[in-house]
Structure 1
């Protein structure tokens, strides 16, 4: 493949996705560390903190994959790495496993009320878009 000029939209998509995925990665890391400051800033109810703390290891790992792989995917996209698509695919696998866990778990009402009903749909849509976008950019020779 020849080295293709980087289109302007890659920078827009890459920067916006990095900002978006930074929030998810920050939430995962600080929640996993049990940061009282973070729980206060995000106004997590005590029931929500207990719910997150009770995640089984596999669900915790899925949450890590979903957030940290998406964050890595954004960095790889900005670096024009062909591995961005793989990172977004791993993120989707993590989101799928987390979704499965949350579908069967009893999320406290106080925590469920914090998240708008449209948020999971938007999360899936953005991540699928980023996967498709990175695959398209790789096929066009933009990602190397």
Structure 2
């Protein structure tokens, strides 16, 4: 019993900060996923997408829903697991990163979308930002697991 107490690390303040920010970031991804898949065209028009972009998403192959779902909901679950200090957060962040990378490869190299309107041009970088944040969250969760903060 004493060994377990000695090995368990106190929760550092930054775990709560990273966990809450991660949940907010990934929670918005979940909101976007739900809105895109349930409201479709209406939501995309409200977001500033034109006819070409809406047609691009409507023509997305069914198999792409697997990595998209894995990336989005894996990240939401991973954020909750991180906040609960579960070592399973590492695995969930890894699956989320895998989904984000497959989505990035599809949208940048296999089937690039049409050009975005000028007011949304900065969104062309969003897949890279998503993969970068997913990689950082995986690294952070792995570091916390190695320090025995996650159990």
Determine if the TM-score, normalized by the shorter chain, exceeds 0.5. Answer: yes
Contact 1:88 1:130 in 2 (8 A): yes
Corresponding residue number in structure 2 for 1:130: 137
Number of corresponding residues: 144
Q: TM-score w.r.t. structure 2 length?
A: 0.84
Matches within 5 A, 1:53-68: 53-68=58-73
Shift of 1:25: 1.4
Matches within 5 A, 1:1-144: 2-102=7-107, 103-110=109-116, 114-116=120-122, 117-144=124-151
Structure 1 gap segments, 5+ residues each: none
Give me the CA root mean square deviation: 2.0
Q: TM-score w.r.t. structure 1 length?
A: 0.88
Q: Against the structure 1 CA distance between its residues 33 and 98, is the aligned structure 2 distance closer, same or farther, given a 3 Å change threshold? A: same
Using CA pairs below 8 Å that are at least 6 residues apart, which structure has the higher relative contact order?
A: 1
Shift of 1:113: 6.6
